[in-house]
Chain A
Amino acid sequence: MNAAPLLEFRAVEKRYATAAGEVAALSGVDFSIQAGEFATVTGPSGSGKSTLLNLATLLDRPSAGVLRFEGQDVGTLPESGRSRLRKHSIGMVFQSYHLLPERSVLDNVLFRFRYMDTPAEEARAAARQALELTGLGGMAQRTARLLSGGEMQRVAIARAVAVPLRLLAADEPTGNLDAESAAQVMGCLKELNRAGTAVLLVTHNEALIAHGRRHLAFRHGRMVHDRVLG
């Protein structure tokens, strides 16, 4: 028996109402991501990459088509159910990190547990383990705003993966970083993927395509190719 894909887009469309009328951000998107897969998504600005990511992380709903997460139709799922999936199964990493600058590194990672029922000690242990994984074990008490860009992004990754995830979605995670920091961040993502977390990486940087085993390219809101890399 075949297991359901982790993430499945079937004829998905996303339209936005603007002053000039309705604009299609995504049209006829069909693809699926399997558990443990590492896929990169590329495309020029306005191609619909970020919209795709918002749909994949259940932050937005499709205007048409079917979106499934582990076989469950999440396009029509009530907000409480979508929140529960975001809480327990999906992590996000952003280009601009979105850390709480005045709080410590550890507090930022613990923030991932803010809406979970995890006991405090368990959350603390998981947060420390996530920091170790991203090479920031010695910086737990540092104030977040004092970190370098690469360190901030690794804190953001640690925060995302402090809970066991099914899918980690990363939106231009190396976009603001120098080459060395970018390599460290990509190393973290690959390590997580090796441990079984599916990664969906959105990027402008063509050089990052090689890190994944699958490449999706978008243009004008449509998927123009879906290629498995050798």
Chain B
Amino acid sequence: MTGSWVKALGQDVLAGLRLRPGRTLLAGGAIALGACALTVLLAAVAGLQAHTLAITRVLGSHTFAVLGAAPGGVAEQRLQIGDVRLLAANLPDAQVSAVRRDSVAVPGHELTLDLLSTDENLVAVRGWQLVDGRFLDAGDLAYAQRDLVATRALARQWGWHVGQVVDVGAVPFKVVGIVDTPAAALEATALAPDIVVRDLSAFVPESVAPDWVGGNGTLQPWGVDAIYVRAGDDEALNKAQQTAVQLLSRADGGANHLSWVTPATLAAGLDQLRHLVAAVAGGVSLLSLILGAITLVSLMLANVQDRVAEIGLRRSFGAEPRDVALLFVAEALGLTLAAVVTGALAALLLLELGPRLPLPVSVDAWVLLGPLLMGASLGVLAAWWPARLAARIEPAQALRQA
């Protein structure tokens, strides 16, 4: 019985929507466009949320980074190896590590390699996993061993493996380990470029590089690009950051010459981006949906006007006012849901096959449910007034008019 009731209602809905195909298409098109924009918006918001979590993991839990001026920037504002030692000496409960990034050519490869000069603590501070071999150790640092640890992406791409001797900038290095750096996948987002490790990166002892990378044989004060500090928990992290600010402050301008990157600052940056995306895509979807809703209301009103006789006929066959109202609500719902599904599918296809968006996107249940809920609400809202009018039509008057 329920099946035949649904079937009959479906037939009524289809017949009603066919009455004015042009206006039905216009309303459906506008709603589909809105649903498409809304799906992209939700996917982008979900993507940014996932990205926030991922980038927090990239930085490392209970970890903050201190960034100085970029290479080539104001020399006085660069972090020095001495700063690293100062922090390490005064933060006994925290782990401290530092990285300097240089770009070097590798024979036989067109792309340059990011050579990250660092110490033995980096892998622990950043919370990375070793895939093979070992990370740099105290011996490498103390004896300036030409040992190298490759990222997993680099090892896969260039076929490097543990035990292999590779030429880096015409200097032979022995690959001692391969490490998984989850940040590599986030490289393209440029949301936190200073803490992200590119795919083509390798780590070498910081005691090796000053003699060799871009130094032309002259030893200069050895600058670092980032210092990482990892504490045991959030409270210890705050304390360590306060101490670090005091230690690295200058008499004139405090520690403002440095950038402090924490999970909170990263999340705040992403939140700003999320708000921007929500404002732009949300605006487009809102405008389309308003246009669709107005067209839908006018379509429903026209349908009621065109079907006065049919309404009278239905009433003469025993339909109650609520049955008549339900008919128009079902029509509006049918149209909006069909339009929303079309728009959402178009958006998913676009995200899958179209040009890559400059934002991370992620499709979760809400990305699919959100537009559907929106469509259902819009359909009910747009149909409410016309359905009420239709339900109030006196059957005798309806049949006489017709």
Contacts and interface: CB of A to CB of B under 8 A. Distances in A.
Contacts of A117: 1
Interface string A63-85: 00000000000000001100110
B317 interface: yes
A86 B319 CA distance: 9
Interface stretch (A98-106, A189-197, A213-221): A98-106
Interface string B298-316: 0000000000011011111
Contacts of B1: 117, 119
Interface centre among B15, B316, B399 (most CB of A within 10 A): B316
Contacts of A103: 15
B309 A98 contact: yes
B402 A86 contact: no
A86 B399 contact: no
A98 B312 contact: yes
B396 A100 contact: no
B395 interface: yes
Interface in B387-402: 394-396, 399-400, 402
A114 B400 contact: no
B8 A114 contact: yes
A115 B394 contact: no
A204 interface: no
Given A60-B396, A115-B323, A86 B317 contact: yes
Contacts, number: 63
Interface in A74-126: 79-80, 83-84, 86-88, 92, 94, 96, 98, 100, 102-103, 111-112, 114-117, 119-120
B56 to A, nearest CB: 59
Contact of B316 (A50, A86, A96): A86
A57 interface: yes
B395 to A, nearest CB: 5
B319 A114 contact: yes
B321 interface: yes
B320 interface: yes
Contacts of B394: 59-60
Contacts of B18: 102
Contacts of B15: 100, 102-103
B318 interface: yes
A120 B395 CA distance: 26
A42 B226 CA distance: 101
Interface centre among B18, B399, B400 (most CB of A within 10 A): B399
A98 B323 contact: no
Contacts of A92: 316, 399
B320 A98 contact: no
Main DSSP-derived SS at the B contact region: helix
Nearest to B9: A114
Contacts of B12: 114
B242 interface: no
B318 A94 contact: no
Given A98-B313, A100-B15, A103-B15, A87 B318 contact: yes
B316 A115 contact: no
A54 interface: yes
B216 interface: no
Nearest to A117: B1
A60 to B, nearest CB: 4
A52 B8 CA distance: 32
B396 A115 contact: no
Interface in B1-36: 1, 4, 8, 12, 15, 18
Interface string B316-332: 11111101000000000
Contact of A115 (B4, B319, B321, B399): B319
B21 to A, nearest CB: 12
Interface centre among B309, B315, B317, B395 (most CB of A within 10 A): B317
B396 A116 contact: no
Nearest to A123: B4
Nearest to A51: B396
A87 B312 CA distance: 13
Contact of B402 (A59, A96, A100, A115): A96
A60 B310 CA distance: 17
Contacts of A50: 400
Interface in B94-124: none
A115 B402 CA distance: 21
B320 A83 contact: yes
Contact of A98 (B8, B319, B402): B402
Contacts of B396: 54, 59-60
Interface string A24-66: 0000000000000000000000000010001001011000000
A-B pairs, 9 with minimum CB distance: A87-B318, A54-B396, A59-B396, A60-B396, A115-B318, A59-B395, A83-B318, A86-B318, A83-B320
8 contacts: A60-B396, A83-B319, A86-B317, A86-B318, A98-B312, A98-B402, A102-B18, A111-B317
Given A59-B315, A59-B394, A114-B12, 10 more contacts: A59-B396, A83-B320, A92-B399, A96-B402, A98-B310, A100-B15, A100-B310, A102-B15, A103-B15, A112-B317
